A and B are shown apart, each in its own frame.
Chain A
Amino acid sequence: MVGRTAPGEPLSQHVLLIEDEPNIAEAIRFILTRDGWRVSLLSDGNAALDRVRSDRPDLVILDHMLPGMSGLEILTALRADPDTRSLPVMMLTARGRDRAMAEQAGADSFMSKPFSNAEILAEVRSLMAR
């Protein structure tokens, strides 16, 4: 396994989870943390780009519908910036149409709501192993 250590250890890789539903965010954070990732949370789209630039996460999990800036807008901005062009991004989408748009905008992977915890874990592991 790449980059995973016991929770709290500084070497673990960093996942930035941008999701405005607190209970979904809490559940995802719990599963990922227990799997050994360092997870930070953000619930607002407007601050997302600044946080990505300052925190430099190894993976971004991005909800499609966010207050402020939408997930799609954030993804487009990340892809336009040379620093974040190849940053792995997983999008959480509710509908097939959103998924096609996220794909065009350059998302590395998608999770359709309602996803299972095992699916999220497997996808995060596979993205981080690239």
Chain B
Amino acid sequence: MPLSALSGTRLRERRLAAGLRQSDVAARVGISASYLNLIEHNRRKVGGAVLDRLADVLGVDRAALAKGSDAALVEGLQSSVARCAGVVVELDRLEELVSRFPGWAGLLVALDARVQSLVRAIETLNDRMTHDPHLSASLHEVLSSLSSVRATAAILAETDDLPADWTARFHRNLHHDSERLAVGAEALVAYLDAGSTMAEQGIAAPQEEVEDWLRSRGWGFEDAALPDGLDSEIAALASTAARSLARDHLARAAADAVALPMVGFVAAVTRHGPDPFALAEAFACDPLVVMRRLAGLADLGAGLVVCDASGTLTFRKPTVGFPLPRFGAACPLWPLYAALGRPLHPVEAVVEMAGQGGRSFRVVAWASPRHPFGLRGPELREAAMLVLPGASGSAAAIQIGSSCRVCPRTDCAARREPSILSAAG
């Protein structure tokens, strides 16, 4: 894995912190001091054996020097910049920032995530105030009875020569409407006092909640654990929507486990490789089932994205070096969408993800139509793309990105909106 610019800076800091001289380190690594100087100033990239020896001499974990460890921070900050249009930042020094102040960078990303969730909370509350039918009906009831009480009471108080039958009538109305007012006000108070949490009100994104939970579970379950539904873990999720999504996910995982029992599946993967179609044939099931099972194999390290016919991502399991958009739409050049447009045709491609130092992936995508309401019901489509790490780069690799706002590619035919990165560059 080649080093990106930030690693040179970090190497230099580690060396200085260890009190080592450039020439001594260079000698022990077996390179010239001037070459190490170039590396430290991010003028040369190193990988392979030199990187291993440098890491050894400096007592640093090689993986910690690789870009992957900071990629999430870099991507998180890029997303923040994308959302704060008009704020001029030193984008060309973003990697330096992450490298030198990982804690502060992490804080910025965490704060931005918090701002996002608060914005969502406000939008949800606003929606609730303006569109909630219960609240609207309760308010209408209170205002109507209050209008009647006010008008009737004023007539009784201000009309000197009110005939006795009218007086009796208005007194009855007043009594009736004051009762209605009391009931309406109680309903309103009960509604506002319901004491539901932010997450319960749909303020945390349910899909993210479920994905966080799946991440904590390593994106897979023991087959034996699936049938009992993992009720206690699902109950711990904050929102009803997330619990419902999680139950759906588990029900599907349980059905997948029945179709493809893990022991036989692992043996078949060893025989056929991670080929969804050979495996689907071997087990007589839909390739989408195989793709979901493959994504659950920890050893394979595969990512998986699933979308519906609108292209909306309904499932996102990331893999290192293949950042997935947290909000909004993904790169239209993903083979996922090629498969979506041509159901039942396998799409295989080598793709190179923008901004990941030329890292390539082999992806396999497939879409199946479904007709849950039968012949005359709507046709639904589901497309999935398995992202297999470790493909060797190829001239024919499709150049893709995560999503336009954070994609540095220039001259992209599929670009929807300007990138914050090319704008700065």
Interface residues of A (CB under 8 A from B): 21, 23-24, 26-28, 30-31, 34, 65, 94-95, 97, 113-118, 120
Complex Cα distance, B148 from A30, in Å, reads 12
Q: Are B150 and A23 in contact (CB under 8 A)?
A: no
Give the distance to chain B from A33, nearest Cβ to Cβ, in Å: 11
Top-5 shortest CB links A-B: A27-B151, A114-B147, A23-B148, A113-B147, A23-B173
- Number of chain B residues whose Cβ lies closer than 8 Å to a Cβ of chain A: 22
| Cβ-neighbour of A24 out of B147, B154, B159 (below 8 A) | B147
B149-167 interface bits toward A, Cβ cutoff 8 Å, 1 = contact, 0 = none: 1111011001100000010
Contacts of A95 in B (CB 8 A): 139
Q: Are A27 and B140 in contact (CB under 8 A)?
A: no
Complex Cα distance, B152 from A64, in Å, reads 20
Contacts of B62 in A (CB 8 A): none
Interface residues of B (CB under 8 A from A): 130, 139-140, 143-144, 146-152, 154-155, 158-159, 166, 169-170, 173, 176-177
Q: Are B158 and A115 in contact (CB under 8 A)?
A: no
Q: Are B155 and A24 in contact (CB under 8 A)?
A: no
Q: Are A27 and B148 in contact (CB under 8 A)?
A: yes
Complex Cα distance, B152 from A117, in Å, reads 9
| Cβ-neighbour of B148 out of A21, A31, A116 (below 8 A) | A21
Known: A23-B177, A27-B173. Contact between A113 and B154, CB under 8 A? no
Give the distance to chain B from A68, nearest Cβ to Cβ, in Å: 16
Complex Cα distance, B252 from A41, in Å, reads 59
Q: Are A114 and B177 in contact (CB under 8 A)?
A: no
Q: Are B146 and A113 in contact (CB under 8 A)?
A: yes
Complex Cα distance, B160 from A34, in Å, reads 12
Beyond contacts A23-B176, A94-B143: 15 other A-B pairs, Cβ-Cβ < 8 A, are: A21-B144, A21-B147, A21-B148, A23-B148, A24-B151, A27-B151, A27-B173, A31-B151, A34-B159, A94-B140, A114-B147, A114-B149, A115-B151, A116-B154, A118-B154
